[in-house]
Structure 1
Amino acid sequence: FSQSMLLTLPPAIDPAGTAQVLDAVLRHHAVLRARIDLDAGTFVIPEPDAGADPALDEGPSGTASSPEALAREVDELAAGLDPAAGLMVRARSYPAHAGHPGRLLLVVHHLAVDGVSWRILLDDLAQAWSDIEQGRTPQLPPVTTSFRSWAHTLRRQTATRTAELPLWDDILAAPDRLPAPDAASPGPYELGTVAEARHLVRTLDSTHTRTLLTGAAERHGVRVQDLLLTALARAVREWSGRDGVDFAAHVEGHGREQQIQDGADLSRTVGWFTSLYPVRLTATAAEPPADTLARTRDHLERIPDSGIGYGLLRYGAGAPEGETDTPRGPEPADAPLVAFNYLGRFGTSPAGGGAAWTPAPEAGVLGGAIDDALAMAHA
């Protein structure tokens, strides 16, 4: 289970320089060298600046000349990840050609990275190279709150979140778990595996994207996520063919709710912080979009700290030392089947190249690989 990004390399860099840059970043962010033992249930994070195994693949130069070829190389590098051995990062460089800058394919196990982490990593890769290019030892900005420290904070937080249980129970009581057009019964549903999943991709042009990100959000005084969840509610209503729908959806959040702990600063911390929490969405055929938006916004404003308490309560992260953690909230059978994730905004290089250490335009922003045998969690 990994995430990947194809980056534009600076013109003057060679494989040795690329390896130095990667080594500096891996040494600085300890979670990129973490080891996991699923049998023991441990996630061991080494000390910062400890030695890092080489991340740059020493095989032949990459030949990802098409999206299909790139996907194969992502899968190949992902197969080399080994969290049990602390191998969380693999990379492969692509030489410059025909006037285009070289590329770096970076694959990171999802246990060690999330969307916010990529922004930190891109900044640090650029800083490390700037220092190396000028003959200096890389000096990266400090990590204020470590991943380990944040994990302990969450463990202590659980006992303070029990007052939220009625809120989560109410959300999960939504009657339409999956308001499909042909749903003759409320379930159970056979979701299948990742290999059986089907994908439909739709892309907005720049004009519609600009309208969504600025004009519409500012005009209605809401966040982009409010608008997108409203659109989801109305799309599900239309897809269902019903006069109205009332369902719960899982929302992914960045999980970096540092306001719950005085002095916490996660702006420089790499790791998988993502939170998952349910929201209740309703829409009717008769109402105008503005009414759906107002109701969605009001509901989201009732959820404290962007839903981080849900996961803490559900998985019992705060069980006393020596006791086995047990779920305190709703059982998995009640979990929503609809999922939503708004990753935010990423910049890319212009066609043909552009700024070093930014996503290459031909590959999109964020890719990844996932085991085909994994069970699907959502429809």
Structure 2
Amino acid sequence: MLLTLPPGIVPAATTEVLGAVLRHHAVLRARIDLDAGTFVIPEPDAGPAPALDEGPPGTGTSPEALAREVDELAARLDPSQGLMVRARSYPGNAGEPGRLLLVVHHLAVDGVSWRILLDDLAQAWNDVSRGRAPHLPPATTSFRSWAHALGRQASARTAELPLWEGILAAPDRLPAPAPDRLPAPASGPAGPLALGTVADARHLVRTLDGAHTRTLLTGAAERHGARVQDLMLTALARAVREWSGRDGVDFAAHVEGHGREQQIEDGADLSRTVGWFTSLYPVRLTATATERPGDTLARIRDHLARLPDSGIGYGLLRYAAQPPAGSPRGQADDPGAPLVAFNYLG
């Protein structure tokens, strides 16, 4: 995140503001060792001091230079040592305000977290600029408390198992396209294109104009009494059906959610909690060549509405619940997992 620094702020004050925010939000100083499976949050004064260095003037306005700066700071993150945040300031140039580049490891931040951090940075500077020690509003539910709540929830959701097993039993993992619909072979020494490999990944970006965006986000949603996610998953199902060249498809797709399903625990309030909250759960998508789009939408919308608590129980059962004796724990690379992933968070 590239921020505009307030007029008159000096590096020492910027460091004080950053330090206050890092001490206030536990996950920003967490030590996470993925190999050992440990997640340790030290006391506020035991974590690394915020490191703020200065970049060349004007870098914050050059996209190419900024991209290099981001890469450099990201390479210096180290969750195992509690180095979750890197910061670099840039003096203003030719009347432009100064900038502050914050690079935070994804293990410690999500989209909601950024909004919390921006508010807290502003509040901390408001206090510091008035000669006061920064005083930030607390998180009602801490990240630690939420983690324990998820553990309690996992053991209480075994009744959902048949639902998720039924979704994963969809007959088509990835509906094979007709031969004439396969991509053309890649040229060069890599040889023919192998579907599903990272080396041969392709990216397709499309930008909708205002008229089409309004039709999708408001007009179609209101007309069909559906959420935008319902519409997009319907489009995905129909696109896969058309791509396959078959009369019908029935497959499971992984959907990512924001994971802040605080309704599952009485009294939980995550509106002030910084961290990476996420969920991943399968949905079952079907489409046929003969049905109208509205029919596909109605079926998928009803299916999604039946998923309890926006699907958060799937991950709890898969990774946090105690498995039956003799059964293996679920793994992310399970050969039965969906091959199609969908991510729409607004």
Give the TM-score, by structure 1 length: 0.79
Paired residue type of 1:214? T
Retained in 1: the 8 A contact 2:47–2:82? no
Matching residue of 1:274: 278
Matching residue of 2:305: 301
Query: Hey, what's the Cα distance between the residues in 1 that align with 2:344 and 2:145?
Result: 27
2:157 equivalent to 1:161: yes
Please list, as runs of the form range in 1=range in 2, the aligned pairs for 1:245-260 lying within 5 A after superposition.
245-260=249-264
After superposition, the C-alpha distances for 1:206-249 in whole angstroms (9 at most, x for unaligned) are 33323333333233222221122122222222222333222111
Retained in 2: the 8 A contact 1:81–1:87? yes
CA gap 1:131/1:335 in 2 versus in 1, 3 angstroms? same
Matching residue of 2:168: 172
RMSD over equivalenced CA pairs, Å: 2.7
Query: Hey, what's the Cα distance between the residues in 1 that align with 2:53 and 2:126?
Result: 22
Matching residue of 1:211: 215
Q: CA deviation at 1:102?
A: 3.0
Gaps of 5+ in 1: 345-379
Which residue of 297, 321, 339 corresponds with 1:318?
321
Tell me the percent identity: 80
Matching residue of 1:192: 197
Query: Hey, what's the Cα distance between the residues in 2 that align with 1:62 and 1:154?
Result: 45
Q: CA deviation at 1:29?
A: 0.3
Query: Hey, what's the Cα distance between the residues in 2 that align with 1:183 and 1:160?
Result: 47
Paired residue type of 1:7? L
Matching residue of 1:108: 104
Paired residue type of 1:343? L
SS at match of 2:274: coil
Retained in 2: the 8 A contact 1:94–1:102? yes
Matching residue of 2:233: 229
Gaps of 5+ in 2: 181-193
Q: Which structure has the larger Rg over C-alpha atoms?
A: 2
Matched length: 332
Matching residue of 1:336: 338
Indicate the structure whose relative CO is greater, using CA pairs within 8 Å and at least 6 residues apart.
1
CA gap 1:97/1:263 in 2 versus in 1, 3 angstroms? same
Retained in 1: the 8 A contact 2:254–2:282? yes
Paired residue type of 1:75? D
Query: Hey, what's the Cα distance between the residues in 2 that align with 1:95 and 1:287?
Result: 60
Q: CA deviation at 1:279?
A: 0.6
Q: CA deviation at 1:72?
A: 2.2
Matching residue of 1:363: none
CA gap 1:149/1:218 in 2 versus in 1, 3 angstroms? same
Query: Hey, what's the Cα distance between the residues in 2 that align with 1:247 and 1:143?
Result: 40
More off after superposition, 117-126 vs 26-35: 117-126
2:70 equivalent to 1:74: yes
Paired residue type of 1:144? T
Paired residue type of 1:226? D
After superposition, the C-alpha distances for 1:20-50 in whole angstroms (9 at most, x for unaligned) are 2221211110100000223432100123565
CA gap 1:126/1:217 in 2 versus in 1, 3 angstroms? farther
